[in-house]
């Protein structure tokens, strides 16, 4: 399992613990282990608190997305220009 959020942490939980947590669950992976006291299956979870999950503002997320789209548009425009040049030959 790879960490996917800068503020997340890995915890071991039961299935009920996963369902009832107040944290945002990013990933869940079933393990072959069980908790010794309850004999319930152990799940490895990547979780992040809800206030940390939403820490980046909407403006920041939109700015990042706009930058990605602009870079992709520039790449496609260059590709179109290159193909048009090849067609003219």
- pTM of the entire predicted model: 0.60
- Which tens digit of pLDDT belongs to each residue from 30-85? 999 999 999 999 999 999 998 888 776 667 777 888 999 999 999 999 999 999 99
Task: Please say whether the beta carbons of 48 and 21 come within 8 A.
Answer: no
Mean pLDDT, range 25-31, rounded to an integer: 96
Find the helix or strand (DSSP H, E) in which 30 lies.
strand 24-34
């Amino acid at each position: 399992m790879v960490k996917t959020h800068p503020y997340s942490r890995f915890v071991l939980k039961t299935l009920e613990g996963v369902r009832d947590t107040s944290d945002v669950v990013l990933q869940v992976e079933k393990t072959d282990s069980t908790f010794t006291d309850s004999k319930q299956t152990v799940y490895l979870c990547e979780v992040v608190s809800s206030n940390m999950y939403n820490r980046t503002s909407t403006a920041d997320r939109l700015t990042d997305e706009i930058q990605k789209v602009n870079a992709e548009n520039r790449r496609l425009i260059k590709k179109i220009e290159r193909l048009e040049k090849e067609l003219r030959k």
